Structure 1
């Protein structure tokens, strides 16, 4: 009897404990539901207030900026895809192979550039009679813009982008970046140099030249021809050497070091050493040409600073 009574009492206590826990969990769930309902109502009120503010202002700039950014990004992506398709079609054409896989078009472009600049620099009677001291604001704006962009690109590429990426990226990643930047860099710089030269010569005809102006024309012409020579004759072999060197290094498991060069097992390979020496030779030539064009640009910057009358 005592045992049965104890068992019964324990069973009753267990049932009461279970009922209490159920009641507690029920209270907690109801409190949680109530809190969630209040939170949702608060969010709905905030959305309603925001919508009313938007309707009052009729132009909500953050949302408009997000929409414009999203739309412009989507359109830009579609444009790039279309241009990529057209570029792939052009790459398979015979004209592209003639222009970019043979040296004759390079010589033609260089000859045309030399003849064009010579025709601009050499004075003629008609040009001497027509030319005067007419200075337009638009021409001055284009002249200063092209020169400033040119000089800024040289400073950024030489002292900021190149050094920063060299000491921050693995060597192969840095090489891939340079493969993309080098052709664009020298193409843009050559176009900007030519623009600066043409506008400067237009406002300073040859019959008005003194020693100072002749030096400036020579410096700008030298910068243009150097950048064009580097783009046409040195950049393509440099890119090919980068590809060949990187392929050999990947096969040997090297090229991921940062801020230095470690040939690893390739240091005794004659073929790799030959490619590496050719790469270093072309790269040093390109770097020296770039520094020389920068010196020409700084010389013209000093000339512009000496002629400023706004300070």
Structure 2
């Protein structure tokens, strides 16, 4: 994963450069940027943010819980050790691109307080993912392997759930000590992941306020049986039949 760490570092420096010196990358303070470029940046921001948000939601609250409840613990741990580096790398790249795109669209020097706060939340999401990728995940995986070794010696680890581990740990000080160390590092990793998810959640609220949903519906007008006509007469609208619908979602980022 060394190449991924270097890549993320390069993307992070690029994103920071876009934030504080967008003019270097062609951004104009008067807002007269290329419409095509602006559209592409909005698309990149929307796709990367939604990918990061969806992945975080699935891994944190759905996929991980389902796997833990249905896989033998050692299989679950080994699968997580392969999945989490890829997960944090993907979310980190998406957050970095979202930061760069948002920073280009909202230069720091001319942005309002709301945009600066949102940029801060995106940077925080990226930083928490990077800390997980570089620091907490490698430590968690290493401690997991050590604990698996102790558990295999005690003939446990192929069951689903924590019951046998907790029972054996009461009589095995070595396993109890490893559980404590693993729990501390895993807790920090989980906290960083939750904080990243929370930062993305706050940004989703901002984006929701930037969306405008416009629905245009055409109706077939039927006169009522009593023959009364008139646009303001309720009986005139005895029946509605939708004949067309257009749904627009302008992304006013």
One fold, TM greater than 0.5?
Answer: yes
Structure 2 unmatched ranges of 5 or more: 215-253
Q: 1:153 — aligned with what?
A: 55
Q: 1:205 to 1:291 in 2, by over 3 A?
A: same
The correspondence of residues 1-311 of structure 1 with structure 2, limited to 5 A, is 99=2, 115-123=13-21, 130-131=28-29, 132-134=31-33, 135=35, 136-263=38-165, 264-311=167-214
CA distance in 2, matches of 1:127, 1:243: 45
Q: What is the SS of the residue equivalent to 1:130?
A: coil
Number of equivalent positions: 209
Deviation at 1:266, TM superposition (A): 4.3
- TM-score when normalising by structure 2: 0.74
Q: What is the SS of the residue equivalent to 2:177?
A: helix
- TM-score when normalising by structure 1: 0.61
* Structure showing greater Rg: 1
Deviation at 1:173, TM superposition (A): 1.4
CA distance in 2, matches of 1:137, 1:291: 31
Deviation at 1:142, TM superposition (A): 1.8
Contact 2:73 2:159 in 1 (8 A): yes
> Quick check: which one's helix share is greater?
1
CA distance in 2, matches of 1:275, 1:309: 52
CA distance in 2, matches of 1:279, 1:243: 10
CA distance in 1, matches of 2:54, 2:148: 30
Structure 1 unmatched ranges of 5 or more: 1-95
Q: Deviations over 1:92-139 (max 9, x none)?
A: xxxx9xx59xxxx97x77876664443332237666873534343322
Q: 1:175 to 1:144 in 2, by over 3 A?
A: same
Contact 1:186 1:231 in 2 (8 A): yes
CA distance in 1, matches of 2:51, 2:140: 25
Deviation at 1:276, TM superposition (A): 1.5
Q: What is the SS of the residue equivalent to 2:123?
A: helix
CA distance in 2, matches of 1:111, 1:215: 22
More relative contact order, 1 or 2 (CA 8 Å, 6+ apart)? 2
CA distance in 1, matches of 2:153, 2:126: 40
Q: Deviations over 1:81-101 (max 9, x none)?
A: xxxxxxxxxxxxxxx9xx59x
Q: 1:270 to 1:294 in 2, by over 3 A?
A: same
Contact 1:216 1:300 in 2 (8 A): yes
Q: 1:240 to 1:277 in 2, by over 3 A?
A: same
